[in-house]
Amino acid sequence: MSNTYFRQVPNLEYVNRTKGSQDISNYINVKNLFKRGKLREDIIQNLTFFTKYEIIGDERPDQVAYKVYDDSTLDWVVLLSNNITNIQSEWPLPQTSLDEILLEKYGTYDKLYSGIHHYETVELTNIKGGVILEGGLETPNTWRTNGNYIQAINTKINQISGDDSKVATVTMYNGIKNLEVGSEVYIQNVSSGVYNGRFPVTSVLKVSDVVIRFTYLLPSIPTVKNPEIGGTEEVSFTVEGDVGTGNAYYYEYYDNNEYHTIPAAKMTKGITNYEYEMKKENDKRNIYVLKSQFLNVIFNDMDKIMPYKKGAAQYVSDTLKKGENIRLYN
């Protein structure tokens, strides 16, 4: 027996509204599209029921079902497994259709393929391969153009300490350049949570142009005066505010006993409108398919979900309800 989805959807006896039909007792059977099957929550939450699948090229749900289940009529299982209700917007479009839609959206080939949609960070690693700056983070367009500076630093520190006046003192291992009073620091990876967060710098101690110590105010008196710092004794933080000269953002970090400064133009890249749209489209290609051995679970659930319940309003049978006969005539 076929396992097509609409074979399981019950009918609704609906008054015939086709042109020329005047008989108020004339009904036709239509599928009740408001009756929709779905996977049980305990199945959805259990990844062992599913296998990852990547949609290739212009594959349709029925083609995926044939490859996975050897039955193209189980396309509805593929869709239900991914909670897809609108195949036009939630399933990858054929490339020719997508190109036509994008060209209409952006107007010209130049805007589509050369126009910048946004900027993203480029991954930055230290000499040991550790990630200092995560790639793929969307950045404001003003990063590359105006004088509202941002400086992100991943550097080694010796110590953080706090006192009863709520002053935290940070002693650097090798120092920081371009840090001023009023700059905002984002502290993390400190064992005592009160030290972590965003804080304005209240004082700095410099040797030449390098800050070797700075302070900031804590939100409360620390119970731990000398907290431990993350395992590698490295604390990542962001410095915001006027922390340098020039009209561009930059990224500064300390690695292998050397300072490295990278301008925004090199630590960010422009993502074109086409690249942005293709990423959105390609994200739809990664889906989950229900494993074949669990198909009977879904079939049994559908047998319970789809039939009408006896005693319900307008009930005729397990597979049929009769709609209200509301007809207006001129």
Higher pLDDT, 152 or 72: 72
Higher pLDDT, 320 or 48: 48
Residues 6+ apart with CB under 8 A from 196: 187, 188, 189, 190
Domains of the chain: 5-93+280-322 (no CATH), 148-245 (2.40.30.20)
The amino acid occupying position 179 is L
Distance, CA of 34 to CA of 327 (rounded, Å): 21
Residues 6+ apart with CB under 8 A from 84: 90, 91
Residues 6+ apart with CB under 8 A from 178: 151, 209, 239, 243, 244, 252
* H-only helix segments in 176-327: 264-267, 273-283, 295-305
- pLDDT tens digits along 118-147: 888 888 787 778 777 788 888 766 555 433
Cβ neighbours, 10 Å, residue 39: 21
Distance, CA of 266 to CA of 270 (rounded, Å): 11
Percent of the chain at pLDDT > 90 equals 32
Distance, CA of 182 to CA of 199 (rounded, Å): 9
| Among candidate residues 244, 252, 182, 178, the one with its CA nearest the CA of residue 215 | 182
Which pLDDT score, from 0 to 100, does residue 43 have? Answer: 82
Res 281 pLDDT > 80:
yes
- pLDDT tens digits along 137-183: 887 665 554 333 334 444 567 789 999 999 999 988 767 766 778 77
Question: Which pair of tokens denotes residue 224?
Answer: 């731990």
CA-CA-CA-CA torsion sign (112, 113, 118, 123): positive
Which pLDDT score, from 0 to 100, does residue 4 have? Answer: 73
- pLDDT tens digits along 190-233: 888 898 877 888 999 988 777 889 999 999 999 999 988 764 44
Which pLDDT score, from 0 to 100, does residue 178 have? Answer: 63
Which pLDDT score, from 0 to 100, does residue 141 have? Answer: 61
